[in-house]
Amino acid sequence: MKIIARVLLGYLFFIAHQTEAQDLYSRIRISTIEYPPLFQSAYLPDKGYGVASDLTIAAFQAVNVDVKFDYIPMIRSVNSVVTRRHPASLGSINWFIKDQKEHAVEAVNLFNISFKLFYKKARFPSGMSYQKLSELKPFSIGNVRGSSTTPVVNRAHLNIRWTSALEQNFRMLNADRIDFAIGGETAGWTLIQTLFPGEEGQFAVIDEAIHTVPIGLVFHKDEQGLIQKFRQGIHRIIKDGSYLRILARYYRKEQITSSLLTPNIIKNIQPDND
């Protein structure tokens, strides 16, 4: 009887431990920023809450984790994870590299974005291009404080007008207070359409990207259990087609190329990963 009791006690302890581990990750809150159409608190009809947010929600749902977002300024995102106020931040590992905090975190990427320079056609009626960033020194350029592009523009010693949000950046551009506004290409055009409906034709973008960064979930390195769950979730939504269906809500077919996808996603898409 004592042996049976010990076995039962051990089994109950195991079940309790498993239940506790499952409950630990059944509901989580992570930090992110307002940056349509990547991450946003407002629902976009026929789309969702931003491509990165939708992918994150789908991946966690695939492993039975309910995720909610706390929207905070970009400049606070790094600290929210490093201090473990949040287990992860939906954004970019480049934010952490910029602040020299990458040693404290681990990133699981979802896709890449290209940052480009937007301008008004009236300011540059013949269009605009450049070979080196240093050629842009004579111009005033708006950029969001804390952006992944910060080291790039600082190294080039550009004339930067810092803003607290992407919306402010593009409002300054529209008011002719700056010559260029830096923004993710998709996010920039989405914001222009939202802020200045019917006036999209007044704006243009330089083809050359000033920076390309991965977008994904950046976890505190001690959140290994949650990291593994998220990786499993990504694998599942790639295999069931949800990943590409979500991308297709935000990107045209010709935009969904290998340059958009990060190496970990490409690896999961390969047929030998079943």
DSSP state of 207: S
The total domain count for the chain is 2
From first to last of the 274 residues of the chain, give the pLDDT tens digit.
556 656 555 554 544 444 444 556 789 999 999 988 999 999 989 999 999 999 999 999 999 999 999 999 888 999 999 999 999 999 999 999 989 999 999 999 999 999 999 999 999 999 999 999 999 999 999 999 888 899 999 999 999 999 988 999 999 999 999 999 999 998 899 899 999 999 999 999 999 999 999 999 999 999 999 999 999 999 999 999 999 999 999 998 888 888 899 999 999 887 654 4
- Count other C-beta atoms under 10 Å from residue 205's C-beta: 18
Q: Which residues lie across from 67 on neighbouring strands?
A: 28
> Which residues, including other chains, have CB under 8 Å from residue 245's CB and lie 6 or more apart?
none
pLDDT at 255: 83
Amino acid at site 197: P
Amino acid at site 113: I
Residue 96 and residue 227 share a domain: yes
pLDDT at 21: 47
Residue 82 and residue 42 share a domain: yes
- Give the pair of three-digit tokens for residue 159: 């004339």
Residue 141 and residue 26 share a domain: no
Residue 188 and residue 174 share a domain: yes
Q: Which residues of 10-36 are buried (b: 16+ CB within 10 A; e: fewer)?
A: eeeeeeeeeeeeeeebeebebbbbbbb
pLDDT at 9: 54
Q: Which of 212, 244, 262 is the last residue of a domain?
A: 212
Residue 10 and residue 77 share a domain: yes
Q: What is the rounded CA–CA span in Å between residue 122 and residue 202?
A: 7
Residue 67 and residue 201 share a domain: no
Residue 22 and residue 84 share a domain: yes
Residue 147 and residue 28 share a domain: no
Q: Which of 181, 212, 243 is the last residue of a domain?
A: 212
pLDDT at 153: 95
Q: Which of 212, 228, 248 is the last residue of a domain?
A: 212
Which residues constitute the domain of residue 150?
114-212
Residue 183 and residue 89 share a domain: no
Residue 105 and residue 218 share a domain: yes
DSSP3 helix / strand / coil % (the chain, rounded to 5):
45, 25, 30
pLDDT at 20: 46
Q: Which stretches within the chain are classed as H helix?
A: 2-24, 51-61, 74-82, 93-98, 150-155, 166-174, 185-195, 224-239, 242-250, 263-269
Instruction: Give, in degrees to the nearest 5, the angle at Cα 117 between 115 and 120.
Output: 145
Q: Which residues lie across from 108 on neighbouring strands?
A: 217
Residue 220 and residue 126 share a domain: no
- Give the pair of three-digit tokens for residue 73: 């300024």
Backbone angles phi, psi at 139, to 5 degrees: -105, 155
- Give the pair of three-digit tokens for residue 52: 């990165």
Parallel/antiparallel/unpaired status of strands 88-91 and 140-144:
unpaired
Residue 167 and residue 90 share a domain: no
Find the CATH number of the domain harbouring 148: 3.40.190.10
pLDDT at 272: 52
